[in-house]
């Protein structure tokens, strides 16, 4: 089944002249992990809001086309219904926490799913551990640092065990090692679920492509409300490089793309060490 299926979706926010999204056709299969990227203001968060049904239910504007999430038509289903299968972590963590303790926020979703108390407690423990904020369990979200709030917002979605999670810039406020840990934990979670026969679809909106390159199977580049590239990560990045689309291509690839033809490099290097050993090889072949 398709986790997400957009057919000719367009949206214009009330009060703007320009369409935020124009004629988007997008299918994401169950179990896929997709990175969505693109210049600031291109419409990434708008896609996320449509997947949850917040557009058109909570935002006014002109919506056209059809959007399905796990077969549910977003026009016919209230957001809370879609939320039983999909979770979203918004771009701004502070605006999505609303209780007086991190623990209550993380338990809020599962409580709405009417799960038994022991199950909820188990999930709360698990989610807090996964993002590494067990020590903040009883703190009020208002009294947390930016990064700590972001971690709490992520935990409060993970605890609902959604089949699809949309992350809108989940690591923007995290320190480098927390970012790596978080991404690894999420993908480990996905693997573990798959081992047990479950499925988890991940849609991650990020400017920091390098962080996710090893994990996702597909990259979609949006520009000016349209999908301009969609496919296998490396070739998408190379195309964006050639077309000069302003996305954050990881430094190592920035160099690789520039020199690969001239130096005869075949494989993209994972890190600088690898790049240098490739270069050494290539140059000794050329000269020796």
Partner 1 sequence: MVEITVENLFFKYPDAEKYALKNINFTIKEGESIAILGENGAGKTTLAKNLNGLLKPTKGSVKIDGVDTRNLSVAKIARKIGFVCHNPDHQFFAETVEEEIKFGLKNFGFTENEIEKSLLDVLKTFGLEEYRHKSPFQLSGGEKKRLAIASIIVWRPELLILDEPTIGMDYAQRLNIQNVLKNLVSEGKSIIVITHDVDFAVSLCRRAIVLSGGEIVGDGCLRKLLSNPEVIEKASLRKPFLIELEEEIGFSVIDEDFDSISESLIRVFDKCHS
Partner 2 sequence: MSFLKAFQYKRRNSLIHRLDPRSKFLLSLVLMTFSIVFIDIRVLIAILTLQLFLIGLARALKEWVYSLRGLIFFIIIIFITQLLFGGTLFMGIVLSIRLIVLSSSMSWFFLSSTPEDIGRAMSSARFPIELTFSFVMAIRFIPVIYNEFQSIYDAQRSRGLELEKGGFRTKVRNLMPILIPLLVGTIRRTYEIADAMEVRAFGASPKRTSYKLLKFKKGDYFLCLVSAILASAIIYLKIFLGLE
Q: Can you give the binding site for ligand ATP, defined by CB under 6 A? A: 13, 15-16, 20, 40-46, 91, 143-148, 173
Q: Is 15 a residue that touches partner 1 (CB under 8 A)?
A: yes
Residue with tokens 């299926």: 5
Rounded Cα gap, residues 132 and 176, in angstroms: 14
Among Mg ion, ligand ATP, partner 2, none, what does residue 40 contact (CB within 5–8 Å per kind)?
ligand ATP
Residue 41 in contact with partner 1, rule: CB under 8 A: yes
CB under 5 to 8 A by kind: which of partner 1, Mg ion, partner 2, none does 286 bind? partner 1
Footprint of partner 2 on this chain (CB under 8 A)?
52, 54, 58, 78-81, 83-84, 87-88, 90, 95-101, 104, 107-117, 120-121, 124, 138-140, 142, 156-157, 160
Distance between CA atoms of residues 167 and 231, nearest Å: 19
Considering only 104, 179, 202, 233, the residue that binds partner 1 (CB under 8 A) is: 179
- Determine contact, residues 213/180, Cβ cutoff 8 Å: no
47-to-54, 93, 152, 185, 235 alpha-carbon distances in Å: 10, 18, 23, 25, 23
Among 12, 85, 123, 151, binds partner 1 (CB under 8 A): 151
Q: How far is Cα 126 from Cα 107, in angstroms, rounded to an integer? A: 11
* Helix pair angle (102-112, 146-158), 10° resolution: 20
- Under 8 Å between Cβ of 41 and 21: no
Total binding residues toward Mg ion, as defined by CB under 5 A: 4
Q: How far is the CB of 267 from partner 1 (least distance, A)?
A: 17
Should residue 280 be labelled a site residue for partner 1 when binding is judged by CB under 8 A? yes
Strands 72-73 and 61-69: antiparallel
Residue closer to partner 1 by CB (options 76, 177) is 177
CB 37 within 8 A of CB 209: yes
Q: Is 196 one of the binding residues for partner 1 (CB under 8 A)?
A: no
Look at residue 154 and give the partner it binds from Mg ion, partner 1, ligand ATP, none, a contact being a CB closer than 5 to 8 Å depending on partner kind.
none
Distance in angstroms (rounded) separating the CA atoms of residues 169 and 179: 11
Residue with tokens 């690894």: 184
Nearest to 124 by CA among 94, 93, 161, 89: 161
**Closer residue to partner 1, CB minimum distance, 62 or 175:** 175
State in angstroms the smallest separation of the CB of 279 from partner 1: 5
Task: Answer yes or no whether residue 71 interacts with Mg ion by CB under 5 A.
Answer: no
> To the nearest whole angstrom, how small is the minimum distance from the Cβ of residue 39 to partner 2?
25
User: How distant, in Å, are the alpha carbons of 111, 183, 184, 278 from that of 177?
Assistant: 32, 10, 11, 28
Which residues of the chain form contacts with partner 1 (CB under 8 A)?
13, 15-16, 38-41, 45, 91-92, 94-95, 140, 143-148, 151, 168-169, 172-179, 207, 246-249, 251-252, 254-255, 258-259, 262-263, 272-273, 276, 279-280, 282-284, 286-288
Which residues of the chain form contacts with Mg ion (CB under 5 A)?
45, 91, 145-146
């Amino acid at each position: 089944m398709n986790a997400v299926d957009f057919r000719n979706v367009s949206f214009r926010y009330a009060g703007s002249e320009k369409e935020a999204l124009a004629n988007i056709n997008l299918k994401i299969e169950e179990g896929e992990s997709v990175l969505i990227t693109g210049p600031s203001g291109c419409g990434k968060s708008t896609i996320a809001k449509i997947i949850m049904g917040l557009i058109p239910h909570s935002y006014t504007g002109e919506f056209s086309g059809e959007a399905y999430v796990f077969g549910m038509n977003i026009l016919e289903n209230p957001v809370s219904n879609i939320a039983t299968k999909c979770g979203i972590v918004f771009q701004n963590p502070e605006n999505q926490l609303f209780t007086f303790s991190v623990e209550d926020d993380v338990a809020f979703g599962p409580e709405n799913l009417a799960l038994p108390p022991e199950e909820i407690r188990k999930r709360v423990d698990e989610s807090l551990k996964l993002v590494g904020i067990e020590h903040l369990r009883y703190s009020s979200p208002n009294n947390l640092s930016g990064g700590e709030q972001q971690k709490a917002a992520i935990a409060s979605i993970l605890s609902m065990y959604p089949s699809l999670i949309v992350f809108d810039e989940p690591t923007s406020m995290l320190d480098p090692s927390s970012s790596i840990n978080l991404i690894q934990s999420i993908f480990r979670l996905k693997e573990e679920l798959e081992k047990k026969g479950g499925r988890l679809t991940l849609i991650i909106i990020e400017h920091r492509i390098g962080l996710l390159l090893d994990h996702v199977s597909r990259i979609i580049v949006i520009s000016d409300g349209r999908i301009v590239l969609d496919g296998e990560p490396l070739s998408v990045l190379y195309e964006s490089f050639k077309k000069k689309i302003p996305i954050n291509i990881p430094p190592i690839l920035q160099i690789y793309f520039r020199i690969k033809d001239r130096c005869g490099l075949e494989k993209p290097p994972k890190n600088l060490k690898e790049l240098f050993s490739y270069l050494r090889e290539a140059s000794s072949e050329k000269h020796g």
